[in-house]
A = this chain, B = another copy of it.
Amino acid sequence: MAGENTGPAVILVEPQLGENIGMAARAMLNCGLRDLRLVQPRDGWPNGSARAAAKGAVDVIDNAQLFETTEAAIADLARLYATTARPRDMTKRVVTPRQAAQEIRQADEAGNRAGILFGRESMGLDNDDVALADTVLTVPVSADLTSLNLAQAVFITGHEWFLAGHDTTDEMLAVPKETRPANKQELIGLFEHLEQELDDCGFLRVAEKRPTMVRNIRNIFQRANLTEQEVRTLRGVVKGLARNDKE
């Protein structure tokens, strides 16, 4: 990944609530984005409730740039997305946040800055702002409730950009530092220990059922992806239970 990527600028056009500006800033920094631009925030600027809601992202608020017009806010950008929930009566490319993320990464690598416009909470972007954009960006949401909080829209868009630049492993096994996955020898040692005790206590006494039962029990513990430490714990459990039984 190009370390120089600063990601898309986030341009809030006439945002209404300071709290939403703050939460948007926090969402941006969660995604590694810092370039916040404001076009005529309703309650003026600076705004105390924006700072308060930003939590750990106060720097993003303090470094936000203020503009009189959308045109001025986007002047340096080579690519612009307009976030809208509803289709406008325009012929326009419409992409998902995931598609936009790919395009913005590619543009970044070619040295072309991108930006994303977000409209006011009550009614979104007006059509003139949408017409400034190359592409419409629509966050797919359920028909159950299509009205999306501003900070959520910023977050989902920024997060797709963040994910697109990271080789996130979708699945891994977290293991405490002081241990490691058990090897097969350790696992088989556990199995044989357990099966010996199960033979001794008579649990496996029906000879024709024994092979299936042993396989089933082994499969349970195979599936558990045991660590070396856990194998030792389980051997202690088996030993403890068996001793109890014999006393």
A57 to B142: give the CA distance in the assembly, Å.
12
Contact A173 B91 (CB under 8 A): yes
Which residue of B88, B143, B146, B179 is within 8 Å of A91 (Cβ)?
Answer: B179
A26 to B168: give the CA distance in the assembly, Å.
28
Contact A142 B173 (CB under 8 A): no
Contact with B along A90-115 (1 / 0, CB 8 A): 11111110110000000000000000
Given A27-B152, A145-B26, A173:B92 Cβ within 8 A: yes
Contact B174 A96 (CB under 8 A): no
Contact B90 A176 (CB under 8 A): yes
Please give, as numbers and ranges, the residues of chain B lying within 8 Å of A90 by CB-CB distance.
174, 176
Given A55-B147, A145-B29, A91:B171 Cβ within 8 A: no
Contacts of A172-212 to chain B: CB distance below 8 A: 172-176, 179
A227 at the interface (CB under 8 A from B): yes
The size bracket of the interface on A is 35 or more
A149 at the interface (CB under 8 A from B): yes
Among A40-48, A154-162, A214-222, A238-246, the stretch in contact with B: A154-162
Most B CB contacts (10 A, CB to CB) among A23, A31, A98, A172 go to A172
Contact A170 B96 (CB under 8 A): yes
Given A156-B156, A170-B99, A174-B136, A149:B26 Cβ within 8 A: yes
Given A55-B147, A136-B174, A156-B159, A30:B142 Cβ within 8 A: yes
Q: Which residues of A contact B (CB under 8 A)?
A: 23, 26-27, 29-32, 34, 55-57, 87-96, 98-99, 136, 140-149, 151-152, 155-156, 159, 162-163, 166, 168-176, 179, 225-227, 230
